[in-house]
Structure 1
Amino acid sequence: MSNTVIENLEKIKAQVAGLAEEAEQLGKLPDETVRLLKGSGLTRMMQPKEYGGIESTPGEYIEAVMAAGALGCSAAGWVGGVVGLHPWEVGVMDPRVQEEVWGTDQDSWIASPYVALGRAKRVDGGFRFSGRWTFSSGSDHAEWVHLGGLIEDANGEVTLGADHHFLIPRSDFQIVPDSWDTVGLRGTGSNDLIVDDVFVPEYRVLEYATVVDGTAAAKVGKADNPLYAMPWFTLFGNAVSATVVGICEGALAACVDYQRERADVFGTKITQDSFTLPSIGEAASEIRASRLQILDNVNRVYDVLAKGGTPSLALRAESRRDQVRASWRAVAAVDSLFARTGGNAIRSDKPLQRLWRDAHAGLNHAVNLPGPTYQVAALSLMGFDPEGALL
């Protein structure tokens, strides 16, 4: 099925790329881009089959996200990758939630973010919830949103240390106008959101720790489904990095296309330039290495689960380490390409400059933070099980 999704993405590539500049100017995806992405099946790959989903393997999904990132509109790849992953979490929530989200529209989109900036007070049947969040990619087109928060007592003190995820319908959150104005990934519409004292029923709240370690699946009878038992950061982190790598693959393609007919200021064709050609070959290999490393790690974790095992913290630490490294390696390769593509590459009508900006913006996501991730991986290699690590 993943091949079908990738084939569908290839069919819409020219259309999506043609809408890239409009997305940049709008600060969100055009409605037509959203329609095309939904039609490709990308955002239903992690969705339960009983609600029109595909239930692809994580590796299949990651490959499709890379293909989306390489469409020529980074924003489409970014939103498709992030929004496409959220059905996985709904899939491990109370069945009533799944019916609410997809009962009337199996293409309903769910945005986020998960950072615990909200505060909730317990009331009869659920919580009163408020807060403001940043970086809600694709929220202009989302009918629901996952938001992170902490539960307080009547005095405003946090009574439960663990973060929780609260699922909120479109009618209960506000998009802050003009809150997304950035140098990269401008078309993602990653707006600020506000929730002001809304009621959230308890069945639409999920404990963060059970999402991270994959145990939420057992609570809804999906312990034997290796897809829904996947550790959260193995999925989420690699999906973000897969988009970055896809953007870099798109940048490589744009560079090759541009350099094919280009000559330098002395009239030497680039196809005869013994300095530029090796740099293109090296960059292509680095980007491919990033692709393969991400896929290998995701598939290794999934294989353990498919055989009835539990992925070790060491394996999860390796996956996170390699996921971060893959992002930075691929973007460094694009840097080397961009620096050797001549002055005209910086012109606004050249797609390479936009892809270069977008790739760098992708590195700024919290899951691509190298220092703490590498530190945890090193401790794991030494035989320690670091606590609190985003694994």
Structure 2
Amino acid sequence: MSSTVSVPVDDLTAVTTPLTDAAALARADAARADAEQRLDPATVEALCRAGLPAHFVPARWGGAESTFAQLLSDVALLAEHCPSAAWCAALWAAHGRFCAYLPEAGQQEIWRHSPRTRIAAAIAPPSGTARRTASGWTLDGTWQPVSAVTHAEWVLLAAAEADTAGPALRVFAVPADRLVIEETWDAVGLRATAGHTVLARDVHVPDHLTLDLAEMLAGRSAPGRSRSHAAPAQLAGGLMFCATAYGAARRALQLWTHWAVTPSGSTGRVRAAAPALATTLATASARIEAAGLLLERAARRADAGTVTGVLVASNQRDAAVAAQMLADAVGELMRGGSHMLDARGELHRMWRDVHTVAAHAVLRVEGAATAFAAAATDGER
């Protein structure tokens, strides 16, 4: 990828594509979306036209069946313009991958009209209960937060099987209009992602719209499954989450650099000429670019590497460390100067969004480090 420093603050792209059209529309609405905590329907439709919900959908349903590397690139680009839009797009893509594990009849029901069906999910931790019936399951429970649920057409919900000895857990695909959505999302960052609370009350789910949670997370290979559908959830989960932080951090660097190289109104000097600011520019840009290299390598491994416990743990480690590096870099950009005085500015918004992504449980360094140490130790035995 090109250097993040060299991109002018107002340069969107020289080539118009459905993806860049979606990015431009999302950027124009980003401040309002953040303030009102919801994406505009026009932005959502543009993300669909750009193919994000269809990214991992099997080709037989008209989907792209694409790669993790391409999703990283697409989501990071979107996040430079609106991290909330990028986060929703990444999740719609990821959940399409999960739905590819449903029985054939379930896949047909979800994608029979379009591969661009928007799917939200609440998988971890599981909540609620499901009771077996003669014609399927009855689902009850409350799940929160459920990102991107406001504009979702289907929702994947993980629940425990009632009257089952042991931790039997299943995933249920439910049409969004059969669920109750309580608007409870009011976060510091990613404010327009609408991670509201979802309630299911005596919702019937037929067998063809449910599957075993462990099987879905394992991502086992099978005849007819593409590489993206044969990857364990942990191999690329952190990578897909961190893509939003990567793009938002690149945008923060663009904004800060534009400020730093603009002559000061009082002195006429370029701020970046000061040793302290030059150091900030060098270290923050290096951290962001290094994080990008970690994520790009993790994406290549997810797309082509031999799946082992060490590989999965390495990708978990790299995504978590990259998220921490991005948060540290953007935090460094925010220290000092007038940035802290502009709570409604774009740089401040990017700062909030990057830190919100980095706080996600999947990207916690401690958990990733524990998993990596265990895998590395086992590999040495």
Q: TM-score, normalized by length of structure 2?
A: 0.90
Alignment of 1:106-121 (within 5 A): 106-115=115-124, 116-121=126-131
Verify: 1:139 aligned to 2:145, yes or no: no
Distance 1:124 1:329, change over 3 A: same
Secondary structure, aligned partner of 1:357: helix
Q: Distance in 1 between matches of 2:265 and 2:233?
A: 48
- Once residues 345 and 279 of structure 2 are traced to their aligned partners in structure 1, the CA distance between those partners, rounded to angstroms, is 23
SS at match of 2:281: helix
Instruction: Choose the corresponding residue for 1:191, options 193, 196, 214.
Output: 196
Match of 1:279 in 2: 280
Moved more, 260-269 or 30-39: 260-269
Matched with 1:32 is 42
**1:234 Cα deviation (Å)?**
1.6
CA displacement 1:335-365 (0-9 Å, x = unmatched): 111114x124531342000110111111222
Instruction: Map Cα deviations across residues 53-107 of structure 1 (whole Å, 9 max, x no partner).
Output: 1111221122212112222x11111111111211111122111112211212332
How much does 1:129 deviate? 0.6
The residue number in structure 1 matching 2:90 is 81
Q: For residue 383 of structure 1, what is the aligned residue in structure 2?
A: 378
Question: CA contact under 8 A between 1:46 and 1:61: conserved in structure 2?
Answer: no
In structure 2, the residue corresponding to 1:18 is in which secondary structure?
helix
Q: Which amino acid aligns with 1:222?
A: G
Q: Measure the CA separation in 1 of the matches of 2:282 and 2:158.
A: 43
Distance (Å, rounded) in 2 between the aligned partners of 1:332 and 1:311 = 31
Given the alignment of the two structures, is residue 367 of structure 1 paired with residue 362 of structure 2, yes or no? yes
CA change 1:262–1:152 in 2 (3 A) is farther
Give aligned pairs, total: 365
Query: Bigger shift: 88-97 or 320-329?
Result: 88-97
Q: 2:332 aligns with which of 323, 328, 336?
A: 336
Name the structure 2 match of 1:172.
178
The 1-side partners of 2:21 and 2:31 are apart by 19
**Mapped contact 2:253–2:285 kept (Cα < 8 A):** yes
1:147 match: secondary structure = strand
Runs (5+) with no aligned partner, structure 2: 1-14
Matched, 1:124 2:125: no
Give the partner amino acid of 1:121.
R
Alpha-carbon spacing, 1:146–1:368, altered in 2? closer, same or farther (3 Å): same
Report what 1:325 is aligned to.
321
Give, as a single letter, the amino acid of the residue that structure 2 aligns with 1:202: D
Provide the secondary structure at the position in 1 that maps to 2:39.
coil
Distance in 1, matches of 2:339 and 2:244, equals 26
The separation in 2 between residues aligned to 1:133 and 1:259, in whole angstroms, is 44
Q: Which residue pairs with 2:169 in the alignment?
A: 163
Q: Spell out, residue by residue over 1:138-196, the C-alpha distance to the aligned partner (whole angstroms, 9 max, x if none).
A: 1111110011111011xxxx43414221111122211103x011211111111111011
Contact kept, 8 Å, 1:264 with 1:270, in 2: the verdict is no
Displacement after TM superposition at 1:312 (Å): 0.9
Other-structure match for 1:354: 349
Aligned to 2:8: none
Amino acid corresponding to residue 213 of structure 2 in structure 1? Y
Do the aligned partners of 1:127 and 1:199 also contact (CA within 8 Å) in 2?
yes
Post-superposition offset of 1:239: 0.3
User: Identity over the aligned pairs, expressed in percent?
Assistant: 26
Tell me, yes or no, if structure 1 residue 289 matches structure 2 residue 285: no
State the SS of the aligned residue for 2:199. Answer: strand
Amino acid at match of 1:258: W
Deviation at 1:19, TM superposition (A): 0.2
CA shift in 2, pair 1:64/1:344, >3 Å: closer
User: What do you get for the CA RMSD once the two structures are aligned?
Assistant: 2.1
TM-score by length of 1: 0.88
Aligned position for 1:55: 65
Give SS of 2:156's match.
strand
